[in-house]
Structure 1
Amino acid sequence: MPCKILFSAENWSTWEAPLRTALDETGVAYDLVSDAAPETVDYVVYAPSSGLLDFTPFTSLKAVLSLWAGVEKIVGNETLQVPLARMVDPGLTEGMTEWVTGHVLRHHLGMDAHIRGLKGKWRKDVPPLARDRKVTILGLGALGADAARALKALNFDVAGWSRSPKTLDGIETFTGDDGLAEALRRAEILVLLLPLTPGTEDLLNADRLARLPKGAMIVNPGRGPLIDDTALLSALDSGQVGHATLDVFRVEPLPADHPFWLHPKVTVTPHIASETRPASASRVIAENVRRGEAGEPFVHLVDRSAGY
């Protein structure tokens, strides 16, 4: 009997074909639908924006397979008692690494001054070589680790911090409160790629912003609430932070009257650092369905106690 897979997310017309292609490649017998009686469903391909909040009626459910990398909007749902897998998509990782690398290079090379125009001033501000520029990445999961390796390959002096110990070849890593303080002290360019949990909300507060080298650049494609907005604006105004490039915000779309829009030291991008790509993400979903049907462990499972 085929397993029933319910697609509970936006853009069914975009996802249906690549999901069917990926599922066909696994050899699993399946019935992929956008609507079904809950008690008949074995797997839910899910996005929190779909509006599905109560999983209680899904009495035969084997797993929820999220299309989102972040799970903060679902991990606390008490009606969800089956395995929850987050999206770890090679396409998403590649896109994020490209965005991070581009903006780190932009700040490293001081491109903004030339793009905006020097207004007739022949000013030769030569940047240091990448090997003399210290970059710190907060968060060394799949996205952070890949970005760290790419920046290291460009010869940047890269370090990383994570809440649990991690090891990356050729990259200094820190953990714990003392490690975070040290990671911030060296961060001429700081990249935030942490998940949002109760332990990471407002991680970059006034005290921690003050630990950065004066004039440090911040790049945040992680989660908006990782940064205390008020503290960041104050640090920008004082010169403690030289510039902030922000792709994620507490409220999205970013309200038109938010001070970030017009601040001369803030670059706003509209949550475009990376996106789940249907072609590659469908293969991740299909592999977990295959595993579930074969009785094998699911991959990319969320640790409910950790929140990600």
Structure 2
Amino acid sequence: MSAILHVGPSERASAWQAEFRHALPEVEFRCWPEIGDARDIRYLVAWTLSPQLIAALPRLEVLFSIGAGIDQLDLSLVPEHVRIVRMIEPGITTTMAQYVAASVLALHRDLPFYIEAQRRGGWTQLPTLLCEERSVGVMGLGELGRAALTMLAPLGFRLRGWNRSPRRIEGAECFSGAGELDAFLGGTDILVCLLPLTDETRGILSRDLFDRLPHGARLVNAARGGHLVEDDLLAALDEGRIASAMLDVSQVEPLPQDHPFRTDPRILVTPHVAGVTRIETAVHALIDNLRRDLAGQALPGEVDRTRGY
């Protein structure tokens, strides 16, 4: 018998267990901590890990992340032979693309300024630009970055993208590698970070990067809080280097009540809701990957540990 162990909320566990019984009965769906015979468990689906969890699964072969990233997982706990797979499913992709489009439009139309004006009773109008008069640059051209550019395309922005390795995306000017980063940043009015969080990208949204953007650029970070040097953003806002920002993630989550981001009128904050793993759709992506593994096929989203994504 092959079994998959789910670690997470009971609502999701119940829904997915029922779907497995119907769609993939040859793989028994079990819910932590009721693991049954641990020797049956070849697959694990979880958001985070503990030493006790990994130690309880001597025959684990594949770890599925609940989310699109893996930085929340302590990979030092995972034996080298265990394959790690990111979640790629329509719910995450669509909600992230919609969030990016909404955020870009909010910053393009100066919503932080107008929200603060409403709060203090002001009635001041700023000059209005057309979308085609601004450029939007997306850092990270994986599944989510490509979907974001596709969602933005009908709005008319001049689209740009940057990735560690070369990409070609219709309708967007693409840049790659450290050698082309300056050219990408120098022509980007609204910067969107959708990079994976790795040792190379941690802290990339810093004073050094902000200084290479056009004066008064806007920032959207919907990737991970670890990408942003928070004090550098506050300084860039004070200096006018950055005009406004939309942040879905932070170094510490939930964002502390006394954190300056909570009260800064130039920053709009959301509680890590940009890309959402939907119970109704993610289970089908998981089942599809299990079928692939049982058939000896490659798994979409499988992580290269040497690259960190």
Gaps of 5+ in 1: none
Return the offset for 1:117.
3.8
Report the counterpart of residue 191 of structure 2 in structure 1.
190
SS in 2 for 1:42: strand
Report the counterpart of residue 207 of structure 2 in structure 1.
206
CA separation of 1:45 and 1:206: change in aligned 2, threshold 3 A: same
1:33 aligns with 2:16: no
Report the counterpart of residue 42 of structure 1 in structure 2.
42
For residues 1-308 of structure 1, the aligned pairs below 5 Å read 2-8=1-7, 10-21=8-19, 24-25=22-23, 27-34=24-31, 35-36=34-35, 37-48=37-48, 51=50, 55-74=54-73, 76-80=75-79, 81-117=81-117, 119=121, 121=123, 123=125, 125-308=126-309
Return the offset for 1:166.
1.1
Return the offset for 1:274.
2.2
**RMSD across aligned C-alpha pairs, in angstroms?**
2.0
**Counterparts of 1:212 and 1:296 in 2: how far apart (Å)?**
43
**Counterparts of 2:2 and 2:242 in 1: how far apart (Å)?**
53
Is this contact kept in 2: 1:5–1:33, CA < 8 A?
yes
Q: Which runs of at least 4 in structure 1 moved beyond 4 Å after TM superposition?
A: 118-122
SS in 1 for 2:67: coil
RCO higher in structure (CA 8 A, sep ≥6): 1
Return the offset for 1:62.
2.5
Q: 1:90-131 CA deviation, whole Å, 9 max, x = no partner?
A: 1111111111101111111223444444646463x3422211
Is this contact kept in 2: 1:137–1:159, CA < 8 A?
yes
Corresponding letter in the other structure for 1:211 = R
Is this contact kept in 2: 1:19–1:282, CA < 8 A?
no
Return the offset for 1:173.
0.7
Return the offset for 1:292.
1.7
Is this contact kept in 2: 1:187–1:212, CA < 8 A?
yes
Q: 1:186-226 CA deviation, whole Å, 9 max, x = no partner?
A: 11111110010000001122111111111111011111111
Q: Normalising by the residue count of structure 2, what TM-score does the alignment of the two structures yield?
A: 0.91
Return the offset for 1:23.
5.9
Gaps of 5+ in 2: none
**Counterparts of 2:124 and 2:221 in 1: how far apart (Å)?**
32
Return the offset for 1:22.
5.2
Quote the sequence identity (%).
34
